Amino acid sequence: MKNFGETLKKIRKQKDMTQEQLAEYLNISPQSVSKWETNLTLPDITMIPMLANVFDVTTDMLLGVDIDAKEKRIEAVIKEADNCTYKKRYEEAEKLLRAALKDYPNNFKLMDKLAIVLSLNVGYYDKNKNEEERKPIREEIIFLSEKILAECTDDNLRYSSIQRLCLAYASMGETEKAESFAKKLPNITERDMITATFKGTKKYNNIQERIMFGAFCSVLDSISSLMDKDYVSLDDGTTPYNSDECIVLHHKIIDIINILIEKGDFGDFNFPLASAHRKLTFLYAQKSDSAAALNHFRLAAKYAVIYESMANNSNPPNGEYSGEYASLLFKGLNFPSIIVHGPDSMMTERLLDKSRELDSLLPASELEEIRTELRNRFNE
């Protein structure tokens, strides 16, 4: 705070305020203000928020903090943490964010990112962690999220926090509390009103994207979720569908995508295609249908590679996509448009890891051939 006096004097003059007027606002003597501005004394720490309020500036600005340098530092930390998260180095990301929060304890972006990393690391459904291990991590996620919700004005960070609170309370069995937070999220009316504000081509493209969002993130994801035994089970503990029914439903997902994207330019839909084929691989392998399992594994690898190329902005394999939908429904719409970044864009690595479970179920030579193709793409 060695330059506090100069900063205070500069801001006071910019606001066209005299020392006497400032003193009157603060209920102190003009001599006290004069001593502050000449760096003879410093105000009590409790006066800083009051001064910031009088001048309508941040405390950082009043204290002479280089705002640009601070923001660049925070963004650099977040970028590095995202890179660690992308590579599943969650503990490393957590250390980076905790260190940054010591320097910037009230930065909501850092709080939000730490809560995200903690959520990924604890894994609400991670069977390798018992409830005693999850509890303190979950409590910190709730603390960070509720602090953001109570004090932050950034709607994106607030909505992100609400979603985490829903998951946290639901995982604790506090269903009513989880539902109360879910009701705070925007509903479809908001998207309707946004669409209503557009005209012409922009409105047309917005409606296309809304259809895609509904098909990509809602309907297909919901169908897939119904078959995830770790995500949905009935009251008696059984799963809604047996393996044969799951095979039929995953084929229906693929059929829906092919109806929507009849010309094969799958774009964003490469993700659910890769996921559906991956799940069919294991379902057929468990039924000892090696030919079907290997066929779906090849297709899962193909679409995973294309999707990852899109997500990472790298070169597509064999020119598999052009960057624009040619299908009738999404004609003229560029992709990727709602691509998922982060861990979900490492599909080839995840597919390789998961494929170890196939070793005792499928022919080793053909299995290794597909793995080699995945490794080659992963190491490019």
Instruction: Give the range of the structural domain holding residue 107, as residue numbers without chain letter.
Output: 67-185
CATH of the domain at 161: 1.25.40.10
Q: Check whether residue 283 and residue 346 sit in a common domain.
A: yes
Q: Check whether residue 219 and residue 163 sit in a common domain.
A: no
324 by DSSP, 3-state: which? Answer: strand
Q: Which residue has the tokens 């982060």?
A: 342
Residue 88: which residues within 8 A CB-CB, separation 6 or more? 343, 346
Domain boundary among 32, 47, 62: 62
Structure tokens at 25: 């606002």
**What is d(CA 367, CA 65) in angstroms, rounded to the nearest whole number?**
58
Residue 292 pLDDT: 95
Q: Check whether residue 176 and residue 206 sit in a common domain.
A: no
End-to-end CA distance of the chain: 51
Per-state percent for the chain, helix, strand, coil, to nearest 5 = 70, 0, 30
186 by DSSP, 3-state: which? Answer: coil
Query: What digits encode the pLDDT tens for the residues 107-120?
Result: 899 999 999 999 88
- Check if the beta carbon of residue 329 is closer than 8 Å to that of residue 368: no
Residue 158 pLDDT: 92
- Check if the beta carbon of residue 284 is closer than 8 Å to that of residue 357: no
Burial of residue 275, with CB atoms counted within 10 A of its CB: 0-12 exposed, 13-18 middle, 19 or more buried: buried
Q: Check whether residue 120 and residue 177 sit in a common domain.
A: yes
Measured N-to-C along each axis, helices 4-14 and 47-55 cross at an angle, to the nearest 10 degrees, of 30
Query: What digits encode the pLDDT tens for the residues 63-73?
Result: 776 666 778 88
Residue 67 pLDDT: 61
| R_g of the chain, CA atoms, integer Å | 27
**What is d(CA 89, CA 102) in angstroms, rounded to the nearest whole number?**
21
Residue 341 pLDDT: 44
Cis check: omega of the bond before 49, within 30 degrees of 0: no
Q: Check whether residue 118 and residue 13 sit in a common domain.
A: no
Domain boundary among 62, 91, 107: 62
Residue 132 pLDDT: 78
Category of 58 on φ-ψ map: left (φ > 0), alpha (ψ -120 to 50) or beta: beta
Q: Check whether residue 219 and residue 356 sit in a common domain.
A: yes
**What is d(CA 110, CA 77) in angstroms, rounded to the nearest whole number?**
9
Domain boundary among 133, 154, 185: 185
The whole-model pTM stands at 0.63
Burial of residue 246, with CB atoms counted within 10 A of its CB: 0-12 exposed, 13-18 middle, 19 or more buried: buried
Q: Check whether residue 233 and residue 84 sit in a common domain.
A: no
**What is d(CA 217, CA 211) in angstroms, rounded to the nearest whole number?**
10
CATH of the domain at 10: 1.10.260.40
Q: How many residues does the chain have?
A: 380
Domain tally, the chain:
3
Blockwise average pLDDT, block size 10, the chain, 380 residues: 79 87 89 90 85 78 71 90 84 93 87 92 58 84 93 88 88 85 72 75 85 78 84 85 94 93 85 93 93 94 85 58 79 67 62 87 88 73
Q: Check whether residue 223 and residue 347 sit in a common domain.
A: yes
**What is d(CA 330, CA 262) in angstroms, rounded to the nearest whole number?**
10
Q: Check whether residue 202 and residue 293 sit in a common domain.
A: yes
- Check if the beta carbon of residue 352 is closer than 8 Å to that of residue 378: yes
Burial of residue 282, with CB atoms counted within 10 A of its CB: 0-12 exposed, 13-18 middle, 19 or more buried: buried
Q: Check whether residue 27 and residue 86 sit in a common domain.
A: no
Q: Check whether residue 362 and residue 238 sit in a common domain.
A: yes
Q: Check whether residue 163 and residue 200 sit in a common domain.
A: no
